[in-house]
């Protein structure tokens, strides 16, 4: 599934400081019945965004006008725990977000994000708190995520932190490539390996 390249992104951000946000909240199971990738934007955080009658919950950050159009979400610690449903990462992307920042990510969610073109940026707990405070003080506070230099910074103050991503995944994100392109290129090596398996 191709995605747009990611280089440097400057944007305001949605704050979601709740910890342990799980994939059942990001995309509830009842919306996993599709056989195609569609409507994941509408159902993103469905039960936290909307009441049972479909009216939006005014106090949920994704519904608040002051953050509208942000391409970054700053989430609480242990973001994306739970299921392996890639639908969660699709809904992040399809909602219009390109980057999630948190002090800790669940493994599978992080992996899925990287595979669909969402950059998971892990920062220190202190820096995450700084980001939350800056957004609280000014909902229009901008954050720059610079992938080539692996830094995330607050535009207003210039405060910045570097983040880790392996060279291979970074190259993929910069170019919009995915793993299948790589694996298909080494098909012969894989089939030779398969021959050696005992079962």
Partner 1 sequence: MAKTLFDKVWDSHVVRQVEDGPDVFFIDRHFIHEVTSPVAFLGLESRGNSVVYPERTFATADHNTPTINQHLPVEDALSANQLQALENNAKKHGISHWGLGDVNNGIVHVVGPENGITLPGATIVCGDSHTSTHGAFGAIAFGIGTSEVEMVLSTQCIMQPKPKKMRINVNGKLGLGVTPKDVALYIIAKQTTSGATGYFVEYAGDVFEDMTMEGRMTVCNLSIEMGARGGMIAPDQKTYDYIAGRAQTPKGAEWDKAMQYWETLYTEEGAEFDVEFNYNASDIEPMITYGTNPGMGIGVTKDIPNASDVEGGVDTYKKSLGYMDFHEGDSMIGKKIDFVFLGSCTNGRIEDFRAFASIIKGRKKADHVTAWLVPGSHKVVDQIKEEGIDTIIEEAGFVLREPGCSACLAMNDDKIPAGKLSVSTSNRNFEGRQGPGSRTLLASPLVAAASAVEGVVTDPRTLINA
In the complex, the residues that contact partner 1 under the rule CB under 8 A are 1, 17-20, 22, 24-25, 28-30, 32-37, 47, 52, 76-78, 81-87, 89, 104-108, 111-112, 115-116, 166-169, 178-180, 182-184, 186-187, 189-191, 193-194, 197-199
Query: Which of these, 35, 33, 19, lies nearest to 132 by C-alpha position?
Result: 19
Nearer to partner 1, 115 or 144 (CB): 115
Quote the least distance from Cβ 85 to partner 1, whole Å.
6
Would you tell me the crossing angle of helices 107-116 and 87-94 to the nearest 10 degrees? 50
Distance of closest approach, residue 195 Cβ to partner 1, in angstroms: 11
The least CB distance from residue 84 to partner 1, in Å, is: 4
Q: Which two tokens stand for residue 85?
A: 């449903």
Whole-number Å distance between alpha carbons of 109 and 63: 23
**DSSP E strands: which ranges in 1-118?**
8-11, 13-16, 72-75, 99-102
Nearer Cβ to partner 1, position 25 or 70?
A: 25
C-alpha–C-alpha distance, residues 144 and 153, integer Å: 5
* Distance of closest approach, residue 58 Cβ to partner 1, in angstroms: 17
Nearer to partner 1, 159 or 189 (CB): 189
């Amino acid at each position: 599934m191709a995605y747009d390249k990611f280089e440097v992104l400057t944007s305001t951000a949605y704050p979601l400081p709740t910890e342990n946000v799980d994939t059942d909240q990001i995309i509830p199971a009842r919306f996993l019945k599709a056989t195609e990738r569609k409507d994941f934007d509408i159902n993103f955080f469905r039960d936290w965004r909307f009441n049972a009658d479909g009216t939006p919950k005014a106090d949920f950050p994704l519904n608040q006008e002051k953050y509208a159009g942000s391409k970054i979400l700053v989430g609480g610690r242990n973001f994306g725990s739970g299921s392996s449903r890639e639908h969660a990462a699709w809904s992040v992307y399809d909602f219009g977000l390109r980057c999630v920042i948190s002090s800790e990510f669940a493994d599978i969610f992080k992996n899925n994000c990287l595979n669909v073109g969402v950059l998971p940026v892990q920062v220190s707990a202190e820096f995450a708190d700084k980001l939350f405070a800056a957004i609280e003080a000014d909902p229009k506070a901008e954050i720059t995520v610079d992938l080539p230099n692996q830094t995330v910074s607050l535009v207003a103050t210039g405060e910045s932190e570097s983040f880790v991503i392996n060279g291979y995944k970074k190259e993929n994100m910069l170019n919009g490539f995915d793993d299948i392109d790589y694996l298909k290129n080494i098909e012969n090596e894989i089939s030779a390996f398969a021959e050696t398996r005992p079962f």
